[in-house]
Amino acid sequence: MPLVLNEEQNMLRDSAKDFCTNSAPIAQFRQLRDDKIEAGFDQQTWQQMIELGWTGITVPEEFGGLGFGFLGLGVVLEECGRTLTASPLLSTAIGAAAIADGGSGEQKSALLPKVAEGELLLALAVEESAHHNPYGAATRAEKAGSTYQVTGKKTFVIDGNVADKLIVVARTSGNAGDRDGLTLLLVDRQSAGVTVTKTIMTDSRNAANISFDGANGELLGAEGNGADLLDRTLDVARILLSAEMLGGTQECFERTVEYLKVREQFGSPIGSFQGLQHRASVMFCEVEMSKSVVLEALSALDDPDDIAELASLAKTRLNDTFNLVSAESIQMHGGIGMTDEYDIGFFMKRSRVCEAAFGNSSFHRDRYATIQGY
Amino acid sequence: MNLDTFRAETREWLEANCPQSMRNNPFHFEDAHEVYSTDDAIVWRDRMAAKGWTAPTWPKAYGGGGMDYDTHRVFQEEMAAIKALPGATGMGLAMIGPTLMEYGTEEQRQRHIPKIITGEVTWCQGYSEPGSGSDLASLQTKAVLKDGKFVLNGQKIWTSGAQHADWMFALVRTDPNAAKHDGISFVLLDMHQSGVTIKPIPLISGSSPFCETFFDDAVALEEDLVSELNKGWSVGKRLLQYERSAAPSRAKKKGKPANPYALTAKEYIGEIDGKIADSEAREKIVKQTMLEKSMQLTVKRVFEESKSGKAPGATTSIFKLVGSTISKESSALQSELRGTAGAGWEGDSFTEKELDACRGWLRDRAVTIYGGTNEVQMNIISKRVLGLPDK
CATH of the domain at B148: 2.40.110.10
Lowest mean pLDDT among A192-201, B69-78, B234-243, B293-302: B234-243
CA A163, CA A92: separation in Å to the nearest integer?
8
Q: What is the pLDDT of residue B245?
A: 60
Indicate if B133 and B81 belong to the same structural domain: no
**Residue A349 · residue A317 · CB < 8 Å:** no
Interface residue of B337, B381, B384, B390 to substitute, partner A, most A CBs within 10 Å: B381
What's residue B282's pLDDT?
97
Q: Please give the residue range of the domain that contains residue B208.
A: 123-230
**For residue B229, what pLDDT is reported?**
95
More confident residue, B30 or A342: A342
In this prediction, residue B157 carries a pLDDT of 94
Provide the number of structural domains found in chain B: 3
Containing structural domain, residue A281? 228-371
Q: Render pLDDT for A230-285 as a digit per residue (tens, 0 to 9).
A: 999 999 999 999 999 999 999 999 999 999 999 999 999 999 999 999 999 999 99
**Contact call for residues B243 and B103 (beta carbons, < 8 A):** no
Count of domains in chain A?
Answer: 3
Phi/psi-derived region of residue B237, left when phi > 0, alpha when psi is between -120 and 50, beta in every other case = alpha
Chain B residue nearest residue A1, CA to CA: B304
Confidence of residue B256 (pLDDT cuts 50, 70, 90): low
pLDDT for the residue numbered B250: 37
Q: Are residues A26 and A139 in the same domain?
A: no
Nearest residue to A247 via CA among A298, A301, A300, A318: A318
- Dihedral angle, C-alpha B334, B338, B344, B347, nearest 10 °: -100
Is residue B308 predicted with pLDDT exceeding 90? no
Structure confidence at residue A3 (pLDDT): 66
Q: Are B300 and A292 in contact (CB under 8 A)?
A: yes
Do both A236 and A359 map to the same domain? yes
Q: Which of B230, B255, B276 is the last residue of a domain?
A: B230
Q: Where are the alpha helices (DSSP H) in A24-167?
A: 26-34, 43-51, 69-83, 89-102, 105-116
CA-based nearest distance A154→chain B, Å: 30
- A215 shares its domain with A304: no
My answer on whether A107 and A61 are in the same domain is: yes
- Name the pairing type of β-strands A165-171 and A122-125: parallel
Residue B248 has pLDDT above 80, yes or no: no
The mean per-residue pLDDT over the stretch B11-32 comes to 87
Contact A41, A101 (CB under 8 A): no
Predicted local confidence at residue B255, as pLDDT: 46
Q: Which of A142, A314, A152 is nearest to A243 (CA)?
A: A314
Could you tell me what percent of chain A has a pLDDT over 90? 95
**Active site includes B107?**
no
Contacts of A299 in chain B (CB under 8 A): none
Same-domain status, B210 and B321? no
Q: Mark which of A224, A254, A271 sits at the end of a domain.
A: A224
From B30, B212, B243, B271, the catalytic residue: B243
Q: Are residues A203 and A134 in the same domain?
A: yes
Does some domain include residue A179? Answer: yes
Q: Is the pLDDT of residue A26 over 80?
A: yes
**Shared domain check, A314 and A289:** yes
CATH assignment at residue A207: 2.40.110.10
Check CB contact of A263 with chain B, cutoff 8 Å: no
Residue A350 shares a structural domain with residue A254:
yes
Bigger pLDDT: B28 vs A289: A289
| pLDDT of B341 higher than 50 | yes
Please state, in angstroms and as integers, the Cα–Cα distance from residue B14 to each residue in A357, B9, B82, B240, following that order. Answer: 51, 9, 8, 32
Q: Are residues A214 and A139 in the same domain?
A: yes
- Residue A2: band (very low, low, confident or very high) from pLDDT cuts 50, 70, 90: low
Above 60 in pLDDT, residue B249? Answer: no
pLDDT tens for A208-224 read 999 999 999 999 999 99
Assess A307–B contact: CB distance below 8 Å, yes or no: no
Indicate whether B107 belongs to any domain.
Answer: no
| Shared-domain flag, residues A362 and A233 | yes
Cβ–Cβ below 8 Å for A317 and B294: yes
Hey, are the CB atoms on B300 and A269 less than 8 Å from each other? no
* CATH number for the domain harbouring residue B257: 1.20.140.10
Separation CA A367–CA A309 (nearest Å): 8
Last residue of a domain, one of A116, A133, A165: A116
> pLDDT tens digits for B316-336?
889 999 999 999 999 999 999
pLDDT reported for residue B247 = 45
B186 and B304 share a domain? no
pLDDT for res B73: 87
Q: What is the CATH number of the domain that holds B62?
A: 1.10.540
Tell me, yes or no, whether A104 and A171 share the same domain: no
pLDDT band at B311 (very low <50, low <70, confident <90, very high): low
**Is residue A1 assigned to a domain?**
no
Same domain for B188 and B266, yes or no, is: no
Would you say residue B100 lies in a domain?
A: no
The answer to the question of residue B272 being in a domain is yes
Least confident among A187-196, A309-318, B295-304: B295-304
Q: Are B255 and B366 part of one and the same domain?
A: yes
Smallest Cβ–Cβ distance between A268 and the set B289, B310, B391 belongs to B391
Query: Does residue B263 sit in the same domain as residue B342?
Result: yes
For residue A2, being part of any structural domain is answered with no
A285 touches chain B (CB under 8 A): yes
**Cβ <8 Å between A281 and B321:** yes
Quote ipTM for the complex: 0.92
- Given CB atoms, is A262 within the 8 Å cutoff of chain B? no
> Is the domain of B341 the same as that of B280?
yes
DSSP string of B151-165, one letter each residue: EEEEEEEEEETGGG-
Over the stretch B113-145, which tens digit does the pLDDT of each residue have? 999 999 999 999 999 999 998 889 999 999 999
Selection from B46, B239, B265 nearest residue B126 by Cα: B239
> Which distant-in-sequence residues (6+ apart) come within 8 Å of A194 by Cβ?
A166, A187, A188, A210, A211, A212, A213, A215
CA B27 vs. chain centroid, Å, equals: 13
Does a structural domain hold residue B96? no
Cα torsion angle, B239, B378, A310, B28, sign: positive
Q: What is the CATH number of the domain that holds A263?
A: 1.20.140.10
Chain B residues touching residue A274 (CB < 8 angstroms): 379, 382
CA distances from A369 to B265, B294, B327 (A): 13, 15, 20
pLDDT in tens, A84-143: 999 999 999 999 999 999 999 999 999 999 999 999 999 999 999 999 999 999 999 999
